[in-house]
Amino acid sequence: MVALTLPDGRVRRYDGALSGAEAASDIGSGLAKAALAVRVNGDLRDLSCELEEDAEISVVTLKDDDELVLDLLRHDAAHVLAEAAKELYPGIQVTIGPAIADGFYYDFSREEPFTPEDLEAMEARMHEIVDRDEKVVREVWERDAAVELFKSMGEHYKAEIISEIPEGEPITLYRQGDFIDLCRGPHLPSTGRLGHAFKLTKLAGAYWRGDARNEMLQRVYGTAWRNDKELRGYLHRLEEAERRDHRRLGRELDLFHFQEEAAGMPFWHPRGWTLYRTVEAYMRRRLEDAGYVEVKTPQLVDRALWEASGHWEKFRENMYTSESEERIFALKPMNCPCHVQIFNQGVKSYRELPLRMAEFGSCHRYEPSGSLHGLMRVRGFVQDDAHIFCTDDQINSETRRFCDLLMGIYRDFGFEEVQARFSDRPEVRAGSDETWDKAEGALRDAVEEAGIAYTLNPGDGAFYGPKLDFELTDAIGRRWQCGTLQVDFVLPERLDAEYVGEDGVRYRPVMLHRAILGSFERFIGILVEQYAGGFPLWLAPVQVAVTTITRDGDEFAGKVAERLESAGLRVTLDTSAEKINYKVRLHSHAKVPVIVAVGKREAEDGSVSIRRLGSREQQSLALDEAVVRLSEEARAPGA
């Protein structure tokens, strides 16, 4: 007797074992047709699996609004891709091909590189394989036989994978048509069930097992969905991301550029620099309000300090150096050692702690050429850096204050969703377990008190202390790690920082390294993408475009612009001989948030016509009123 409990609670009883497919068709013929797999006591299994014992089952169909269904489809898509590649390219070796976010990939080993034409050919062959509707059959093999099979096919990577499957686990192979692959499963019952809502998207190199010392394999990426509508939706999201790309908008909005003489270092144009300075002024205000003191330290520092701090040993290959007067200097990659130098001037008292020392620190790091990416990954950047010198007992309250400050700042920039990652002690570390216990407890309590959701990253802390990383979610759901707070027990020791305690004895302070934006460059890149270039008024490089409709408005328009400027607004005046339609279009493309139009009517009664970016509405206001309203609206948060 086998009793199967369905999701609605009904129980169906059978005389003996039956397959998932049989169970589905017993429930209903429609369901049998739609069935892709079964869930048995929560585990996803093939339709062909034998149900021998009582279980809770549910039949999985495309209707299940569940990531697992997508994973199933994508995993099958990867297999179909591998089958297509094997058919098209004799001698090719298949390695691994998992489902990933939004799609799948498969890594191949082959002498000759794939071309974009190969991509098309493989995709076309995949559609054929789906149309062939090959049955997908699960087989359990004996280990040695499986290794022999793959070796005989020249599939050495597969043989290697099998030899690493732990003893006792079954070796399962899936066969579809002439293609057989090692796979844990589960899979769809036949290739036809995959449908045609998939697309191969890109080619890339990828190291075997992600290790740069291994062979570079050829990775083919694809995307797969339940139906065409979902596929189109995904492709649309890609276009949306492309539309927001800060590199493209940076050029179109004349914010910055890069050129090969200074790879990885932005040239900020007037508009981009205005945006930068607006962000900087805002941050400076928030830090002042939060009790920080601001400092500025040298760019070029003798290697002796980097040796003392440990950077010369650990970070050397990322540092730019320069030589003069027979001494070697390094462009600072971080600000911390310099901040300790300021701390070390004079004798510090416990009364001065916590000392929050901030710097908009200009840093340079050599980054491999292949990892540069617009403003997101650069070689020269400015951190919104600060170091909090404090006692062990102050770690919790300082972390709590930091979390509040960070949340407030993200909110002001339009980011509501924030997640933290808490990384605790790694295997190799400095400091006693007691110290770590205390610091980890202080961080965890603080982030919880601040009401920030967090995940645990066990063992991922730095050797010098535990840390919190903060990720924000942007307007199209992407996550960016920006903020960080790292406890450091080591650097104060190395650089001999100390303070005099209440009892007159000298103690080591703890240092908290912390940043909120991360780097101005990267954060501004994220802001550009967040707003797709259409910034809120307080951030917009040009806030108001004053445009004339006819020459009758020229004089008054000049006065309007002047009034707005003296009220602190960033204004551009356009008295060109174009039609108002053209001017509206021009300034709309430049994403100026407010367009003020002035014609004969306005000049006569001292009013302005206001149009907001993205709206067709017009609002007529007296000039005085407009100046008051716009300057109020343009005020930066906290100003």
Partner RNA sequence: GCCGGAUUAGCUCAGUGGUAGAGCAGCUGAUUUGUAAUCAGCAGGCCGGCGGUUCGAAUCCGCCAUCCGGCUCCA
State which of residues 12, 494, 508, 600 lies at the interface with RNA (CB under 7 A).
600
Closest approach, Cβ 136 to RNA, in A, equals: 28
- x/- track of binding to RNA for residues 326-345 (CB under 7 A): -------xx-----------
- What the block records as the tokens of 292 is 């920080």
Is 387 an annotated catalytic residue? yes
Dihedral-angle region of residue 600 (phi above 0 means left; psi in -120 to 50 means alpha; beta otherwise): alpha
- x/- track of binding to RNA for residues 172-211 (CB under 7 A): ------------------------------xxxxxx--xx
* Active-site option among 384, 385, 424, 469: 385
Pairing of the two strands 348-349 and 499-500: parallel
Place of tokens 């002796």: 304
Q: How many residues bind RNA (CB under 7 A)?
A: 68
Of 152, 208, 149, 157, the closest CA to residue 175 belongs to: 149
CA distances from 302 to 311, 321, 328, 329, 500 (A): 12, 9, 6, 4, 29
Closest approach, Cβ 34 to RNA, in A, equals: 34
Place of tokens 């057989």: 180
Query: Is 598 in contact with 546 (CB distance < 8 Å)?
Result: yes
Is 196 an annotated catalytic residue? no
Instruction: Report the residue number, 5 or 299, with the smaller CB distance to RNA.
Output: 299
* Active-site option among 244, 379, 425, 513: 513
HEC states along 170-227?
CEEEEEECCEEEECCCCCCCEHHHHCCCEEEEEEEEEEHHHCCCCCEEEEEEEEECCC
- List binders of RNA among 46-65 (CB under 7 A): none
Under the criterion CB under 7 A, does residue 570 sit at the interface with RNA?
A: no
State which of residues 232, 585, 629, 635 lies at the interface with RNA (CB under 7 A).
585
Closest approach, Cβ 236 to RNA, in A, equals: 17
Under the criterion CB under 7 A, does residue 311 sit at the interface with RNA?
A: yes
Closest approach, Cβ 452 to RNA, in A, equals: 21
Closest approach, Cβ 519 to RNA, in A, equals: 11
CB atoms within 10 A of CB 278: 18
Under the criterion CB under 7 A, does residue 494 sit at the interface with RNA?
A: no
- List binders of RNA among 500-529 (CB under 7 A): 513
Closest approach, Cβ 263 to RNA, in A, equals: 4
Under the criterion CB under 7 A, does residue 287 sit at the interface with RNA?
A: no
**H-run or E-run covering 304:** helix 303-309
Is 513 an annotated catalytic residue? yes
Query: Is 388 in contact with 355 (CB distance < 8 Å)?
Result: yes
Residue 129: is it exposed, middle or buried by C-beta count within 10 angstroms (0-12/13-18/19+)? Answer: buried
Instruction: Report the residue number, 345 or 581, with the smaller CB distance to RNA.
Output: 581
- List binders of RNA among 87-116 (CB under 7 A): 113-116
What string of DSSP letters covers 371-426?
G-BTTTB-SEEEEEEEEEEE-GGGHHHHHHHHHHHHHHHHHHTT---EEEEEE---
* Active-site option among 79, 187, 218, 336: 336
State which of residues 34, 463, 471, 473 lies at the interface with RNA (CB under 7 A).
463
Beta pairing partners, 205? 218
Instruction: Report the residue number, 166 or 370, with the smaller CB distance to RNA.
Output: 370
Instruction: Report the residue number, 367 or 633, with the smaller CB distance to RNA.
Output: 367
Place of tokens 């999701």: 7
Beta pairing partners, 106? 220
Is 364 an annotated catalytic residue? no
- List binders of RNA among 347-386 (CB under 7 A): 367-374, 377
Under the criterion CB under 7 A, does residue 10 sit at the interface with RNA?
A: no
State which of residues 345, 427, 577, 632 lies at the interface with RNA (CB under 7 A).
577
CB atoms within 10 A of CB 590: 19
* Active-site option among 387, 429, 522, 583: 387
DSSP at 451? T
Query: Is 141 in contact with 207 (CB distance < 8 Å)?
Result: no
Under the criterion CB under 7 A, does residue 152 sit at the interface with RNA?
A: no
Letter for the amino acid at 526? Answer: I
Under the criterion CB under 7 A, does residue 324 sit at the interface with RNA?
A: no
Residue 600: is it exposed, middle or buried by C-beta count within 10 angstroms (0-12/13-18/19+)? Answer: middle
Closest approach, Cβ 286 to RNA, in A, equals: 23
Is 618 an annotated catalytic residue? no
Closest approach, Cβ 406 to RNA, in A, equals: 18
HEC states along 495-547?
CCCCEECCCCCEECCEEEEEEEEEEHHHHHHHHHHHCCCCCCCCCCCCCEEEE
Is 486 an annotated catalytic residue? no
Is 482 an annotated catalytic residue? no
Under the criterion CB under 7 A, does residue 476 sit at the interface with RNA?
A: no
Place of tokens 């309250």: 397
Just list the catalytic residues: 336, 365, 383, 385, 387, 467, 513
Q: Which residues bind RNA (CB under 7 A)?
A: 113-116, 202-207, 210-212, 216, 218-219, 247-248, 251, 258, 260, 263-264, 311, 314-315, 333-334, 367-374, 377, 462-464, 486, 513, 549-552, 577-582, 584-585, 588-589, 595, 597, 599-602, 609, 611, 613-614, 616, 618
